[in-house]
Chain A
Amino acid sequence: MNLGFALGHLMAQAANTASWWKPIQASAHASSVDSLFNFIMYLCFFFFVLIIGAMIYFVVKYRRKEGVPIKTSPIKGNHTLEIVWSVIPGILLVIMFAWGFKDWLAIAVVPANAMEVRVTGQKWNWTFTYPKEGIVSPDLVVPAGQTIKLVMTSKDVLHSFYIPDFRIKRDVVPGRYSVLWFDPAEEATHQIFCTEYCGTSHSNMLSKVKVLSSEKYEQWIANGGEEEGGAGGKPIPLAEKGKKLYESRGCVACHSVDGTAKVGPSWKGAYGTAHKFADGSSLASTDENYIRESILVPGAKVVAGYPNVMPSYQGQLNDKQIESIIEYIKSLK
């Protein structure tokens, strides 16, 4: 119980900042969800203290004492009391329902001026597509102050798109589009989780929301969705670009670069070496064409001993990006 009070106290202090047990409130919706959360929490503390307090009081007061003749009360019930303790919680429950329903309706309807971003979930990464600009990005980059509408679907199994800082979550279902929206207010970075269990690397299916000022966002769009150039605006080497893509586009979940076998074969020595495939065929020396094919049509040649589980990256990586990845693999000898 003391812990409860301590928590309540902490809560009250920690209004708008991230506390050690609550995410920050990144939007107006987040703070209204927290208001209801707090309302329910205080009610819970009240009823918990009432129930458990009465229980402890009764145990102490009516504890059996040696040598005292036992006489107990004949009470079997009390209609007034029973009605009171049914009706009062009943009313409070209706209030909680109505409050939760109201806030939830507000996020069920997308505002008209929202900017649309497409979200694709697949084992085990997220990709964000900007339909107007044709940009594909591993992070959800958005301008501050702009309402964002996410139209989401999955390529394989169920996923769920969750941004704790905005208190929003929605399942991402194959063969369907689900919609979610939020209002990023300030420049900040927010964590994205997958919260519907999806297999081996479910816990690594992470991404970020990067809220930029509108100028920086325009710049990002103008760069074609590349973070930034090399130092001093110099172009960065393809292999280095490939390494970034390896980390940001989910390759890292299944392929190691140090020779250890994970879900898929390691990239170390994957170029220019002999490979045996599951269908019995083999290559004496893998080349650029093999790697390109493995990215776009992963099931065409599956390395012997590995499951055929990789999704296609067709439409998600452009030629320049595929070249970068090839260069990166070539550099891993």
Chain B
Amino acid sequence: MDSNRNSAPKSAHAASAGGVEPNYLNAHKGIWSWMTTVDHKRLGIMYLVGILTFFAAGGIFALLVRTQLLGKIFGGPGKQDWLFSGDTYNKLFTLHGAVMVFLVIIPSIPASLGNFFLPLMLGAKDVAFPKLNLMSFYVYVLGGCFLLFSILTGAVDTGWTFYTPYSSTTSTSVVSAVMGVFILGFSSILTGVNFIVTIHKMRAPGLTWTRLPLFVWAQYATSLIQVLATPVLAITLMLLAIERTMGVGIFDPKLGGDPVLFQHFFWFYSHPAVYIMILPGFGVISEIITVNSRKQIFGYKAIAMSSVAIAVIGFLVWGHHMFTSGQSELASAVFSFLTFAVAVPTAIKVFSWVATMYGGSIRLNSAMCYALAFLFLFTIGGLTGLFLGSLSVDIHLHDTYFVVAHFHYVMMGGTMTAFVGALHHWWPKMTGRMLSEFWGKVGCFFVFVGFNITFLSQFLLGTKGMPRRYANYLPEFQTLHQISTVGSYLLGLGFLITLIYMIQSLINGEKASKNPWEAMSLEWQTDSPPIEHNFHVQPVVKHGPYEFPEIDHSLARGGH
């Protein structure tokens, strides 16, 4: 944070030489220059590569899980094992969950796109602590290595939730997996601290809090949760490791511990973590919808403040994961009420996004298609949360496929759809190349249709009473499971198409201009790809992020 603001307007000849100045990708050469870089853009790209690799791995685990659930065709009548034994299946769904949550969704938008675009959007040269940023990347890699080590030494079969006393007694490699997640938590905390300081201290002249792009607001709320909640997870997992390695009774009743205590600790982090996962997605959607509707966001303050409200109330709803656990009746009632309370700011956001499109001029590029898909899927994810927030209905649906479908609609239909949409939106800036619009829409179609086939059928399975984490099932569930599996293959195909045209774009994609979507926020005012120090001249901000030239101010009566 030292020199960035002081070095404000650069000399004029530096600006005029902008055309030939090398960009961040070719300013330094060689592997070593990447491994030791403190450039937030390069770190963002490195995170992106890591996250996409783990996303592919997690996706393959998911497809294996779904293939097992095609059912009895993998084993004669009466045989217990289908394609995989119960133990193998249990490891597969645990790996799918742990990889997707801790290595993909939590870091997805903040670590990759947040790192890349937050300083650009603020008009800064870098994040506040560039070296700390490099360190959190290596902490992330180290955490990933621990998880990989755990996979190679027999994997884990506890589910990504590590519930005790199963996790304190199972013979699989729990300790290395738990240490992996523990370490990943520090990466998350360090990134969060870095972002908070950057947003507070490194905004360009004129960039007031109400002129911040909503993506920045969302990152801010996310970072607050990362810093406040992640230490609790770290402590919890540490206690679990201590119990396993030293036999100190904390959670295992055989040693005098309390297994329900673990659930309180775990969800005290992991419910806010749901908002760590979804809030950055909200930020992305606000950007994509405004830019492609050429309009002011509807209710800027309401959207910004609802992110903060969600971050705050989100800390007080963890008990809704535990309605059947035996926590006190009063606690359950309070948690149910607060769960409904958190639905209000979420609803405000959805209504505001839809209202933003009113009276706009809508460009349906692939990023916008993903944003519309997000609205569709996230609305279903949010609405089905109402069933689970209601105490009596949740008792029936808890730990069934209804819950599985619900959180996939939120996490995957919400966060991952926003993430992929964001990749399409910012791809030209990051790589200097355009993506194929045609194939972008084809990919989006398969992802959208495949996703709905996969998970709508799971709502029905759950309502029918199909429990989650089952390696096999009773015959009455087979048809719906098979439909779901076919959907998952379509979904996989959609992502495969996306991967192919992304690689094609890197090789010979059309060159991107500075600002292909004619956006107003600062990241679009520099070259594509940006130069090493982001801007030729310190930008000065004179207007809000969504004041597009197409807005017809002569109509500004009545509205607001």
Contacts and interface: CB of A to CB of B under 8 A. Distances in A.
B293 A40 contact: no
B344 A199 contact: no
Contact of B296 (A74, A160, A173): A74
A157 B357 CA distance: 52
Given A40-B387, A75-B560, A77-B300, 5 more contacts: A62-B358, A71-B552, A73-B295, A74-B559, A170-B326
B336 A97 contact: yes
A94 B375 CA distance: 24
Given A54-B354, A74-B551, A174-B165, A85 B347 contact: yes
Interface in B129-180: 157-159, 163-166, 169-171
A201 B379 CA distance: 36
Interface in B327-356: 329, 332-333, 336-337, 340-341, 343-344, 347-348, 350-352, 354-355
Interface stretch (B228-236, B388-396, B494-502): B388-396
Interface string A105-123: 1011000000000000000
Contacts of B379: 47-48, 51-52
A175 B344 contact: no
B355 A62 contact: no
Given A59-B364, A59-B372, A262-B80, A97 B390 contact: yes
A131 interface: no
A176 B560 CA distance: 59
Contact of A107 (B157, B390, B395): B395
Contacts of A164: 396, 464-465
B200 interface: no
Candidate in B157, B158, B347 with the most chain A CB atoms within 10 angstroms: B347
Interface stretch (A188-196, A287-295, A317-325): A188-196
A272 interface: no
Contacts of A62: 293, 357-362
Nearest to B549: A70
A22 B464 contact: yes
A197 B166 contact: yes
A72 B390 contact: no
Contacts of A13: none
Contacts of B295: 72-73, 75
A100 B354 contact: no
Interface string A16-31: 0000111100000000
A44 B386 contact: yes
Contact of A157 (B87, B166, B393, B465): B166
A329 to B, nearest CB: 19
Contact of A158 (B163, B375, B464, B560): B163
A59 B357 contact: yes
Interface string B392-417: 11111011100000000000000000
A60 B345 CA distance: 27
A52 B375 contact: yes
A64 interface: yes
A76 to B, nearest CB: 5
Contacts of B74: none
Contacts of B163: 158, 196-197
Contacts of B352: 82
A115 B293 CA distance: 65
Interface string B271-297: 000000000000000000000011111
B396 to A, nearest CB: 4
Given A73-B552, A97-B340, A167 B395 contact: yes
Contacts of A197: 90, 158-159, 163, 166, 468-469
B504 interface: no
Nearest to A19: B464
Contacts of A169: 324, 395-396, 398-399
Contacts of B86: 199-204
A28 B134 CA distance: 60
B326 A58 contact: no
A103 interface: yes
Contact of B90 (A52, A93, A104, A200): A200
Contacts of B347: 85-86, 89
Interface in B407-430: none
Given A3-B456, A167-B395, A108 B362 contact: no
Nearest to A29: B392
A74 B357 contact: no
Q: Sorted from nearest, which 3 A-B pairs have the closest CB atoms?
A: A73-B359, A164-B465, A100-B390
Contacts of A48: 379-380, 383
A203 B387 contact: no
B393 A100 contact: yes
A81 interface: yes
Interface string A151-187: 0000011101010110111110111101000000000
B298 interface: yes
A303 interface: no
